[in-house]
Amino acid sequence: MKASWFLFVIPVLILSYSFALGGTMSITVSSPAFGSLQQIPQKYTCDGMDVSPPLSWDTVPDNARSIVLVCDDPDAPAGTWVHWVCYDIPSAVNAMAEAMPRADTLPCGGKQGKNDFGRIGWGGPCPPSGTHRYFFKVYVLDTMLDLPAGRTKKNIEKAMKGHIVGQGELVGKYSRTRQ
Greatest Cα-to-Cα distance within the chain, rounded to the nearest angstrom = 67
With respect to residue 3, please indicate whether it lies within any of the assigned structural domains. Answer: no
With respect to residue 19, please indicate whether it lies within any of the assigned structural domains. Answer: no
Q: How far is residue 6's CA from residue 1's CA, in Å, rounded to a whole number?
A: 9
With respect to residue 164, please indicate whether it lies within any of the assigned structural domains. Answer: yes
Q: How far is residue 108's CA from residue 88's CA, in Å, rounded to a whole number?
A: 10
| pLDDT tens digit sequence for 110-161 | 999 999 999 999 999 999 999 999 999 999 999 999 999 999 999 999 999 9
| Residue 119 belongs to domain with CATH number | 3.90.280.10
Structural domain tally of the chain?
A: 1
With respect to residue 5, please indicate whether it lies within any of the assigned structural domains. Answer: no
Whether pTM > 0.85 for this model: the answer is yes
What's the pLDDT at 59?
Answer: 86
Cα-based torsion angle of the residue sequence 129, 125, 132, 94 in order, rounded to the nearest 10 degrees: 180
With respect to residue 14, please indicate whether it lies within any of the assigned structural domains. Answer: no
Domain range holding 157? 24-174
Ordered mean pLDDT values, 10 residues apiece, the chain (179 residues)? 44 38 85 98 98 96 97 97 98 98 98 98 97 98 98 98 98 87
Long-range contacts (CB closer than 8 Å, 24 or more residues apart) made by 153-158 = 153/70, 153/72, 153/82, 153/85, 153/113, 155/113, 156/68, 156/70, 156/85, 156/87, 156/113
What's the pLDDT at 177?
Answer: 82
With respect to residue 120, please indicate whether it lies within any of the assigned structural domains. Answer: yes
With respect to residue 56, please indicate whether it lies within any of the assigned structural domains. Answer: yes
What's the pLDDT at 10?
Answer: 38
